Amino acid sequence: MPDPSPDPGVTGAYQPPAREAERFAPGALLAGRYRVVAPLGKGGMGEVYRADDLTLGQPVALKFLPPHLAADPDRLARFRREVAAARKVSHPHVCRVYDIADDGGQPFLSMEFVDGEDLSSVLKRLGRVPEEKGLDIARELCAALAAVHDQGLLHRDLKPANVMLDGRGRVRLTDFGLAAGADDLSATEVRSGTPLYQAPEQLAGREVTVRSDIYALGLVLYEVFTGRRAFPDARRDTPPSKPTSHVTNLNPAVEAVILRCLAPDPANRPRSAAEVLAGLPGGDPLAAALAAGRTPSPQLVADADPGDGPMRPWVALAFVAVVAAGVLVTGWLGGLALLAPRAGMREAEPAVMRHKAREVLAALGHDEPPAGAGYRYLGNHDFLDHRRAHDPAPGVWDGRWRGLEDGRPPAMLFIYRVARDPLAPTNYHVYRETPGVIDALNPPPLDPGMADVTLDLRGRLLRYHKVSDFLGPESPAPADWRLAFAAAGLDFAAFTANPVPPRHRPPLAADARVAWEGPYPDPAADRVRVEAASLGGRPVYFAVEFPWDAGEKAAAYPVNRPPMNPGTAVLLYGLPLAAVGLAVWHWRAGRTDLAGAARLAGVLFALWFVRWAVTAVHVTDSREELLLEIGLGAAMYQAVLAAAFYLALEPVVRKRWPWRLVGWSRLLAGRVRDPLVGRDVLVGLAAGTVLTLGFFHRLCGPVWAPELLDPPALGEVEFDPAWCVTRPLTTGVGAGFLYFFLTFLCHWVCRDQRVGAAAAVLIFTALVLSTNPASKPVTVALTIPAVSLGFQYVALRFGLLAFLAALLPVGWLFLSGWSLDVRAWYATGPNLGVAVMLALTLYAAHTATGGRLLRVAAD
């Protein structure tokens, strides 16, 4: 019920209502709906009556403006704002306001009738309440004020007279006449309120914030536990006396939280009412919110105390040891199974390969100095698939992949491109997560003067293509192909002795085509075909064709484009669309954490943009604008996608499993040194390192029938240090939100933890199999469910932050091509990524222990 006390800003004792001044006698019918029962009180701000709502059949309280203010436009506007503000808040400990009505030109509002008395009267009658009851009042008042703040409102007039206790002693926060958003207050409105219960900054007219309400809360709690006012008047030039100077045996935690609320500097006060509640003895704000059927706010979740405390140093060191051991084991597995060490990459350094490529170009007649150049290492997927289909030694660890080090047949390719102008990779022609990288078709080989060669890792020519000038002399003379055969390491005489009809059509202009077949020095392909073409007597095309390259659909360039299958379609369209739909639904219901989503999107946008900026090839002409647009577009898409998944899942998790978001909410709030944040990151990194072994087993196991680890999505041949460091932070977080959304969606829909876990495992397994068909069903049947259950355990036991951290080792240890061959030239990027991971692990361990880990290590 609202407070019938004097106007805010006016001090004085409460005046009981005078009978002769009553405007409505008992039994009067107002607005054709409300029958007056009795007056409840009168003050400078208006009159309050108890009435019966004849339409709904329930008691209500009616609040009228005084007659002299009923026609005041400013007072009427404030009256309407009170209704609008109060109706935004729905909480068991907040007095509900129903509506505003008018009777004969006299406006009034109807609200919940609270059969009890206000806290001011209780304190006047009792002096102070017992500590146990005071804690009950404090907890309920904190919960009510937190509900007000959750709606972006400030109460601005919190005082004992505006706190009702109903017949069962439960708190009802009342009187929203001054409630407003901080941004909606004018300079003259900042000081509105009761001076005895205002914060120093509000009295000075500087500002009013959530922490101003926290100060008023501290003043109220001071009275509740001591029976005295903290300050006799509105002056705040001296600190208040300690509550224990008035009351003996007061719980120290109560005194500490009250004095924190009354700190003169707002920055030293609790950040929220939820934090005040958490500081009270036995305070459990999440449990209180859930018990009240209310979805806790993100701030309430961030301020919740799981009760675990900082991690013990020896426990943190055990997690660090798990990560270190996992790094060594995955490095050993990488040396056994990764393609690069087996395909002869150690001797194929970029400087050496670029020099050989330029020699081949010069031998084929392309000797003009390039203005732009670029290179790529690619896995030869056609050969690898052929070798799997025609396994010469199944079940033998080295049998299937023996002999790759010589580069014949080529398991890996080196592509080198040159052009008269700087190469600007402004297209998406192959599967790429990061735009702006030069490859076989980006930019398209269309401009005159462009030329490219494909070599094996011993520098032998496999393919040559040149884009000729538009203008040029005609020459009937045949081209001399001896230098091309020499560059390819093939016997020119043996091939020219066996000419065959050409079947290749060069990508661009040519006026003569020839083809030969001849011997190839490898049992896997004892004969190969060579196709060549010339224009004006000069070579423009030369290609060595292996048996696995034949067919009508053979491509001119080695390009790996994973097909669009049902699983990919679900990941690309189905889950994002479902996430957007749920996000809109939550937003319309007012449940979304828009501020958290904005911070997440901003951080991801920055990470993706930095990843593009440090890995893309830039130019100094007008094409850089297009490159910038592509980079910004990719970063924006990934940021919006992650924000959509977050908005779709976060309200559900916050309502049903709020403890799973405590560490994440603290990180979003900028509390990077919080022990709980450190614990979640440390646990996630350790769990992810162990689960990464499952990914290796999925592709390489089992040990009795091992498999070569083909470059996943061309990832293993990305050796750029910046790419190896940033990819897990971007792709891992994005994939983490997608799978976290899928996991909790299954649990939310199934309403049973075991059924939800089984559904998530089945869906995840189906998606993996549809995007990566299984060649070893037994291995997949054992590995994928185990990995899925492991990630689900991390999500359900430790929450979102630990789950996202668990995805990071997959990128640093698996996708970047990490192995113990740390001295190889291509190990710089993977080494740096692993170093970042280990540094993050140590920092998380130090933070998880509350800063004790380094001190223990020093001792």
What's residue 548's pLDDT? 82
Distance CA 162, CA 148 (A): 14
Give me the residue label for tokens 């206000």: 118
Beta-bridge mates of residue 513: 533
Q: How many CB atoms lie within 10 A of CB 334?
A: 24
What's residue 814's pLDDT? 83
CATH of domain 1-304: 1.10.510.10
Q: pLDDT: is 398 or 269 the higher one?
A: 269
For residue range 215-238, list pLDDT tens digits in order. 999 999 999 999 999 888 878 878
Q: pLDDT: is 499 or 437 the higher one?
A: 499
In this prediction, what percent of the chain has a pLDDT beyond 70? 83
Please give the full DSSP string across 792-855, using - where no structure is assigned.
HHHHHHH-HHHHHHHHHHIIIIIIT---S-TTSGGGHHHHHHHHHHHHHHHHHHHHHTTS-HHH
Distance CA 785, CA 763 (A): 10
For the residues 200-214, what does the mean pLDDT come to?
86
For the residues 170-174, what does the mean pLDDT come to?
89
Identity at 837, one-letter amino acid code: M
Exposure b/e, 238-255, CB count within 10 A at least 16 = b: eebeebeeebeebbeebb
* Residue 742 pLDDT class (50, 70, 90 cuts): confident
Q: The tokens of 359 are what?
A: 């020699």
As to burial, measured by CB atoms within 10 angstroms (0-12 exposed, 13-18 middle, 19+ buried), residue 552 is exposed
Torsion sign over Cα 196, 201, 202, 204: positive
User: E strands within 657-775?
Assistant: none
What's residue 43's pLDDT? 64
Adjacency order of strands within the sheet including 171-173: 116-118, 163-166, 171-173
For the residues 325-340, what does the mean pLDDT come to?
85
What's residue 715's pLDDT? 38
Q: Is 290 helix (H, G, I), strand (E, B) or coil?
A: helix
Distance CA 206, CA 2 (A): 28
Contact at 8 Å (CB) between 770 and 571? no
pLDDT at residue 39 tops 80: yes
Specify which of 15-19, 122-126, 570-574 reaches the highest per-range mean pLDDT.
122-126
Q: Is 545 helix (H, G, I), strand (E, B) or coil?
A: strand
For residue range 127-168, list pLDDT tens digits in order. 888 998 999 899 899 988 988 888 888 888 899 988 999 888
Mean confidence (pLDDT) of the chain: 82
* Residue 368 pLDDT class (50, 70, 90 cuts): confident
What's residue 484's pLDDT? 94
- Of the residues 103, 118, 157, 439, which is catalytic? 157
Cα angle 387-391-395, degrees, rounded to a multiple of 5: 130
Pairing of strands 451-455, 412-419: antiparallel
Specify which of 483-497, 538-552, 763-777 reaches the highest per-range mean pLDDT.
483-497
What's residue 716's pLDDT? 41
* Residue 606 pLDDT class (50, 70, 90 cuts): very high
For residue range 44-94, list pLDDT tens digits in order. 567 888 999 998 889 999 988 777 776 777 777 777 777 777 777 888 888
For the residues 773-797, what does the mean pLDDT come to?
78
What's residue 190's pLDDT? 63
Q: pLDDT: is 453 or 292 the higher one?
A: 453
Residue 728, CA distances (Å) to 610, 611, 688, 725, 836 in order: 13, 11, 12, 7, 11
Q: pLDDT: is 698 or 438 the higher one?
A: 438
* Residue 12 pLDDT class (50, 70, 90 cuts): very low
What's residue 289's pLDDT? 63
* Residue 762 pLDDT class (50, 70, 90 cuts): confident
Distance CA 569, CA 564 (A): 7
* Of 523, 12, 518, nearest in space to 531 by CA: 518
Please give the full DSSP string across 134-145, using - where no structure is assigned.
HHHHHHHHHHHH
For the residues 739-764, what does the mean pLDDT come to?
82
Backbone angles phi, psi at 368, to 5 degrees: -75, 140
Distance CA 541, CA 544 (A): 10
Contact at 8 Å (CB) between 654 and 274? no
Torsion of CA 72, 74, 76, 77, to 10 degrees: 160
For the residues 516-540, what does the mean pLDDT come to?
88
Question: What is the value of pTM for the model shown?
Answer: 0.70
Residue 528, CA distances (Å) to 516, 542, 695, 703 in order: 9, 13, 37, 35
What's residue 2's pLDDT? 41
Pairing of strands 97-103, 106-112: antiparallel
User: E strands within 105-233?
Assistant: 106-112, 116-118, 163-166, 171-173
Q: pLDDT: is 78 or 514 the higher one?
A: 514
What's residue 109's pLDDT? 85
For the residues 411-439, what does the mean pLDDT come to?
81
What's residue 488's pLDDT? 94
| Polymer length in residues for the chain | 859
Domain ranges of the chain: 1-304, 369-419+442-549
What's residue 8's pLDDT? 36
Distance CA 17, CA 384 (A): 93
Q: pLDDT: is 257 or 4 the higher one?
A: 257
Distance CA 338, CA 677 (A): 34
What's residue 20's pLDDT? 46
For residue range 430-487, list pLDDT tens digits in order. 555 667 888 888 888 888 989 999 999 999 999 999 998 876 666 667 888 999 999 9
What's residue 64's pLDDT? 85
Distance CA 590, CA 670 (A): 24
In this prediction, what percent of the chain has a pLDDT beyond 90? 25
Q: Is 157 a catalytic residue?
A: yes
Backbone angles phi, psi at 35, to 5 degrees: -105, 120
